[in-house]
Amino acid sequence: MRLTYALVAAACLLPTRADAQQVGSYLAVRIDQAPLPLADRVTDGDGTTYLVEFERMVVSLRSGNRFRAAVRFKRTLTTSDAGVGGRAGARQTPIQSMTVTGRYEVTGTTIRFVADSSGETKGVRMLDGTIEGPQRISLPFDYRNGSIERKRVLRLQFREDIL
Residue 82 or 66, more confident: 66
Write the DSSP symbol of residue 154: E
The CATH fold assigned to 16-159 is: Porin (2.40.160)
What confidence score (pLDDT) does residue 50 get? 87
For residues 87-94, give the mean pLDDT: 64
pLDDT value at residue 106: 94
Q: What is the pLDDT of residues 1-38, one digit of tens each?
A: 433 333 333 333 334 343 457 899 999 999 999 999 99
The answer to whether 113 and 125 have CB atoms below 8 angstroms apart is no
Which backbone phi and psi does 8 adopt, to 5 degrees?
Answer: -65, -45
This prediction has a pTM of 0.74
The phi-psi region of residue 133 (left if phi > 0; otherwise alpha if psi is between -120 and 50; otherwise beta) is left
Query: What is the model's pLDDT at position 86?
Result: 45
How many Å apart are CA 28 and CA 70, to the nearest integer? 10
Phi-psi region of 12 (alpha: psi -120 to 50; beta: other; left: phi over 0): alpha
Residues 52-72: tens digit of each pLDDT: 888 899 999 999 999 999 999
Cα-based angle 93, 96, 101 (whole degrees, multiple of 5): 155
What residues pair up with 107 in beta bridges, in sequence order?
110
- 39 or 119, which is more confident? 39
Indicate if the pLDDT at residue 95 is higher than 80: no
Helix (H) or strand (E) holding 72: strand 66-79
Give 50 or 109, the one with higher predicted confidence: 109
Q: What is the pLDDT of residues 121-150, one digit of tens each?
A: 565 667 899 999 989 999 998 887 778 888
